């Protein structure tokens, strides 16, 4: 099986201090080390391995820490500033590790108790107590050195414990790092060819591999046909039972068309398993009456099911949108294939959808299966899916590729109830804070392809962090 080995997200952590302080201020070193332990617990979660190097307080230790992080293969580093520390205890670590760094400027309390502090009466004790709270002091120095060294950095500023802003930011950064890790350990299958004449969707796969680390594998439709031809009745029956359980089958769907879709779905699942795919982009037309045409006109249900299982499938060979769908799904938001359908100027909404596949796990209710006598602009006929994205907050994401540069385009809005087009396609009504007109003009001004991925929830802030970790520009419309 050609599957990429699964590895955990590795998060590096180190605190910084100054060794000259320890003999001067009793208990300060132990206290600051305990704070590093608090941060480690904040970073710990399922699927994440925290590599904690403790308190680095000399340049010599910093050099070794850089080697240690590199040997541990960390994906991202959290630098916790516990007190004043020399920038020479920071630069060697981050420079050698060569991964994104987030500075944690966190003091132990929201505000010092000034009266109690001033009543200590011992200047040495007072200085030691102050040093335990002066995390903000060296951050400008660190920022200056990082900038002069050409090292990108990010910041979280706040209180060590009980600060919702800090906890939320840490969660966002770790989620962004996790998705970056997923994309770099995912395999994108491409099967068939581009939809003829859609110049906007033509993609440079080298740029995609370089931007996200994604492995791209060309998959032959002949291989899918061979798997499909070898399926026994039991495998098709099992898939048909699953389809009946997952979808709302409309009464005008013929048993023959459902079985044809079930056979293709079973073959698609087997193909994905054989090649270890994490996503796929496809398109094909074939010769009328051929076995390949029989396959390509019956893929929508199987592609929708795989999309809902974390293997997003984009039609029309839209590689960029398969990437966008994978990003959205990896964030837990879903990621359904979509494009503009129409404008509703009366209700100030944009109607968006596609002729499949749809992400059934983010549907409003159960996804319907309807028969279509013609696939508009495509060959053949068969069954298709009809769904709306769950009502509530949504995020739209498009992966742009312009002039050899990959970037991300994002917008937040709402999926709202109301009439939709009952044409056997996915379609939803979206309201944006800019209003329909300004949204469409602003989105189009970024020059995306006409497809995008839609997921549930507002996650633009996390997508912005993903872009920061990958070095990609993120354009936020709203």
Q: What mean pLDDT comes out for the span 64-74?
A: 98
Q: How far apart are CA 168 and CA 394, in angstroms?
A: 19
Euclidean distance between CA atoms 373 and 370, whole angstroms: 10
* Total count of domains within the chain: 2
DSSP assignment of 166-231, as one string? HHHHHHHHHHHHHHHHHHHT-EEEEEE-PPTT-GGG---HHHHHHHH--EEEEE-HHHHHHHHHH-
Rounded mean pLDDT of 356-369? 92
In tens, the pLDDT along 115-153 reads 988 988 888 998 988 999 999 999 999 999 999 999 999
CATH number at residue 30: 3.40.50.10940
Q: What pLDDT does residue 462 have? A: 98
Please report whether residue 286 resides in a domain.
Answer: yes
How far is residue 249's CA from residue 472's CA, in Å, rounded to a whole number? 42
* pLDDT tens-digit map of 192-203: 999 999 999 999
pLDDT at 395: 98
Q: For residue 378, what pLDDT is reported? A: 75
pLDDT reading at 6 higher than 60: yes
pLDDT at 380 over 80: no
Do residues 115 and 240 share a domain? Answer: no
Q: Provide mean pLDDT across the span 66-83.
A: 98
**CA nearest 82: which of 111, 59, 56?**
56
395 shares a domain with 309: yes
DSSP 8-class letter at 161: S
Burial class (CB within 10 angstroms; exposed 0-12, middle 13-18, buried 19+) of 162: exposed
Looking at residue 180, its pLDDT comes to: 98
Nearest by Cα to 357 from 288, 454, 289 = 454
Residue 251 inside a domain? The answer is yes
Residues 108 and 227 placed together within one structural domain of the fold: no
CA distance 350 to 413: 10
Res. 66 pLDDT band, cuts 50 70 90: very high
Q: What is the pLDDT of residues 383-407, one digit of tens each?
A: 899 999 999 999 999 999 999 999 9
Shared domain for 278 and 385, answered yes or no, is yes
364 and 341 share one domain: yes
* Residue 1: predicted pLDDT: 53
Q: pLDDT digit string (tens) for 207-231?
A: 999 999 999 999 999 999 999 999 9
* Residue 136 domain flag: yes
pLDDT at 417 exceeding the cut of 80? yes
Q: Give residue-wise pLDDT tens across range 308-335.
A: 999 999 999 999 999 999 999 999 999 9
Q: Checking DSSP bridges between strand 405-416 and strand 334-344, what pairing results, if any?
A: unpaired
> Is the distance from CB of 1 to CB of 276 less than 8 angstroms?
yes
Say what the pLDDT of residue 355 is. 84
pLDDT > 70 fraction of the chain, expressed in percent and rounded: 100
CB 397 within 8 A of CB 324: yes
Specify whether 337 is located in the same domain as 381: yes
Question: 91-104, pLDDT tens digit by residue?
Answer: 999 999 999 999 99
pLDDT tens string 42-65: 999 999 999 999 999 999 999 999
- The reply to whether 159 and 228 lie within a common domain is no
Residue 1 falls inside a structural domain? no
Burial class (CB in 10 A: 0-12, 13-18, 19+), 114: exposed
Question: What is the extent of the structural domain holding 421?
Answer: 187-476
Are the C-beta atoms of 408 and 400 separated by less than 8 Å? yes
> So what's the pLDDT on residue 382?
82
- So what's the pLDDT on residue 373? 75
Average pLDDT across the chain, whole number: 95
Q: Give, for 141, the enclosing helix (H) or strand (E).
A: helix 139-148
Report the alpha-carbon angle 315-318-319, nearest 5. Answer: 125
pLDDT of 177 = 98
Judgement on whether residues 49 and 176 belong to the same structural domain of the protein: yes
Q: Are 175 and 194 members of one domain? A: no
CA angle, 352 then 353 then 356, to 5°: 170
Tell me, what's the pLDDT at 375? 76
Transcribe 234-282 into DSSP letters: HHHHHHHHHHHHHSEE-TTS-HHHHHHHHHHHHHHHHHHHHHT-SEEEE
- In the chain, the percentage of residues whose pLDDT exceeds 90 is 88
Tokens 């009946």 sit at which residue? 244
Do 295 and 215 reside in the same domain of the chain? yes
| Residue 3 domain flag | no
Domain end, chosen from 182, 197, 230, is at 182
């Amino acid at each position: 099986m050609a599957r990429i080995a699964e590895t955990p997200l590795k998060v590096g952590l180190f605190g910084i201090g100054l060794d000259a302080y320890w003999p001067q201020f009793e208990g300060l070193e132990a206290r600051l080390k305990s704070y590093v332990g608090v941060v480690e617990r904040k970073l710990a979660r399922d699927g994440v391995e925290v590599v904690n190097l403790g308190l680095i307080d000399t340049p010599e230790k910093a050099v070794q820490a850089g080697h240690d992080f590199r040997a541990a293969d960390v994906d991202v580093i959290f630098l916790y500033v516990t007190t004043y520390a020399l920038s020479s205890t920071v630069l060697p670590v981050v420079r050698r590790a060569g991964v994104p760094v987030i500075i944690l400027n966190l003091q132990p309390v929201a505000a010092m108790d000034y009266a109690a502090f001033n009543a200590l009466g011992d200047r040495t004790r007072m200085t030691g107590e102050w040093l335990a709270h002066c995390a903000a002091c060296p951050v400008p120095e660190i920022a200056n050195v990082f900038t002069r060294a050409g090292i990108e950095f990010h910041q979280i500023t706040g209180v060590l414990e009980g600060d919702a802003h800090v906890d939320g930011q840490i969660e966002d950064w770790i989620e962004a790092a996790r998705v970056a890790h997923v994309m770099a350990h995912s395999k994108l299958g491409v099967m068939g060819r581009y939809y003829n004449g859609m110049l906007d969707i033509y993609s440079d796969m080298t740029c995609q591999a370089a931007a996200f680390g994604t492995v791209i594998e060309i998959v032959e439709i002949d291989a899918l046909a061979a798997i499909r031809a070898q399926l026994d009745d039991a495998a098709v029956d099992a898939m048909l039972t699953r389809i009946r359980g997952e979808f709302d089958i409309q009464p005008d769907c013929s048993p023959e068309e459902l079985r044809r879709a079930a056979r293709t779905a079973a073959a698609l699942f087997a193909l994905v398993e054989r090649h270890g795919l994490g996503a796929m982009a496809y398109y094909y037309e074939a010769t009328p009456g051929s076995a390949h045409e029989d396959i390509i006109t019956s893929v929508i249900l199987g592609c929708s099911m795989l999309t809902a299982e974390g293997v997003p499938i984009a039609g029309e060979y839209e590689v960029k949108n398969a990437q966008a769908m994978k990003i959205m799904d990896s964030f837990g938001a879903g990621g359904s294939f979509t494009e503009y359908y129409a404008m509703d100027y009366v209700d100030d909404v944009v109607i968006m959808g596609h002729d499949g596949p749809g992400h059934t796990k983010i549907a409003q209710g159960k996804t319907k299966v309807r028969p279509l006598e013609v696939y508009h602009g495509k060959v053949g006929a068969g069954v298709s899916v009809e769904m709306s994205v769950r009502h509530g907050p949504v995020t739209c994401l498009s992966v742009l590729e312009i002039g050899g540069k990959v970037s991300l385009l994002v917008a937040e809005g709402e999926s709202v109830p109301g009439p939709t087009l009952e044409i056997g396609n996915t379609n939803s009504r979206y309201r944006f804070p800019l209003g329909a007109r300004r949204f469409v003009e602003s989105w189009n001004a970024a020059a995306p392809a006409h497809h995008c991925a839609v997921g549930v929830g507002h996650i633009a802030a996390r997508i912005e962090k993903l872009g920061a970790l990958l070095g990609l520009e993120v354009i936020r419309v709203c």
